[in-house]
Structure 1
Amino acid sequence: MSALQFVKEYVKQPRTVGAVLPSSKVLARQMVESIDFDEVRSIAEFGPGTGVFTEEILRRKKDGTVLMLIEENREFCDLLHDRYGERDDVVVIHGSAEDVRVHMKTCGIRQLDAVVSGLPFASLPNAVSHAILRVTNQVLAPGGVFVTFQYSMMKKALFERYFAGMEWQRVWWNVPPAYVLAARPMK
């Protein structure tokens, strides 16, 4: 997908796309730093968009680890399906992260070891943000990790309501610069 097509999707759906350009590879590397790829067996990616974080996850994950991609934007979902649909270890789902429990059941996954989120929580309706974070906290395995990025720390308190031990890192090499936040489920 070209940058122009990405911008077109942003213009059509700014609340769910959330960025004018795809994330940088530097941001993608930072997004997966807190995942112990030797231990995880199931990963969900919320809002994978064009697959920048997906590529980094696939580069690092072990054989046998299932990656579930949940994308609400139809254009992005079709792109992801074309790119990864033939893989046995990747499941592409057109749907909402709010329904992650249903998607997990369909895939035969009991708990998630990691959730990587590209969702624009700053522009999502408040009720949707709470619903996604609540269910994410519930489906993460003990010791699991939730990782997201945001362009400001405006929603940090919201994340802290659902997750413990939050760590953050500023990534300057992205347009715009972003914060990566990683935390554990609050059980």
Structure 2
Amino acid sequence: MSPQAETQDILQEIRALFAEKGNEMYAGEAVSQTEHALQAASAAEQEEAPPELITAALLHDIGHLLHKHDEDCATQGIDDLHERIGAAWLKKYFPEAVTEPIRLHVDAKRYRCATNAEYLSRLSPASVLSLELQGGPFDERGQQQFESNPWHLEALRLRNWDEAAKIPGLETPELEYFLTSVQRVLQQQPGDLN
């Protein structure tokens, strides 16, 4: 299969995931999974982030579209581990500049909650519940481990866009618009995508 055909297959798979589960509500928030993804990507673009971070913003919660749990699994006491599921799936196709901020975006929340009481106080009830299931704010050792990761600053940027992407009715570009950034990142990959 040619790299161009493989890129189109990956884009089609992403489209299919959003078509299948993207209209579900986003973890107790007043927006859908797709609205949340588009708002995060739009925020990244407004900050003139590179294509890899715009892609990470768009796909940071793709694990929610991949896992087999109910949308309200957090209220059932289940941490869906969406950040790990999503990063592992994306790692087959994308560079670390996309997958590592995604893998670390929950850790970024735990870090921010440990180091910024004002940030913690602004979390939505759904985000507070998921924080509890994800292990709560980091202790000092967790903070140091997070800071030592070479992708922690990108994960913190992604976290900002994630938190801002919960506004009902906010107009954003459509999925196809942001898939151009995704395609650009895929086409920059050396050799075979597998």
Measured against the shorter chain, the TM-score band is 0.3 to 0.5
Greater RCO between the two (CA within 8 Å, min separation 6)?
A: 2
Larger Rg: 2
Q: Counting helix residues as a fraction of each chain, which structure ranks higher?
A: 2
* TM-score normalised over the length of structure 2: 0.32
* TM-score normalised over the length of structure 1: 0.32
